[in-house]
Amino acid sequence: MLKVVLIGFAIYVAAAALLLNLYQADPENMSWQERETFNLKQIGRLDLGADKGDVIRLLGSPDISEAKATADGEVLVLFYRTHHVKSDGITTRDECTPLLFKDDALIAWGADAYSEYQSF
């Protein structure tokens, strides 16, 4: 009997380890609450200079986006929902964290960075 319990436990541990190593979160399949938490955690781990394609692969499609051509190049802003403000079924900029990219490289994120961008 003890042998059966130990074998069962070993199978359980192996399956759990396999699942934890192979599972990749998919933002497209999350509830809005899960996605907010996921986005907030992942944005906190980003590094300046990160490639736009890598960020989109990590976070999924942005909730809102905008772009502007400046004298220094093109600036793209991707907005990802990170907090809840109003229960209206619509994601707005004030519920998102903006990520700013210049020439496909992450140059800044957050409300202050977006405010500076708007004055370009």
Please report the domains of the chain, with CATH numbers, ordered by start residue: 27-118 (3.30.1450.10)
Q: What is the reported pTM?
A: 0.75
Residues 39-84: pLDDT tens digits? 999 999 999 999 999 999 999 999 999 998 888 889 999 999 999 8
Give the count of beta carbons closer than 10 Å to the beta carbon of residue 97: 22
Separation in Å, CA 112 to CA 10, 93, 118: 51, 13, 10
Q: How confident is the model over 81-109, as a mean pLDDT?
A: 92
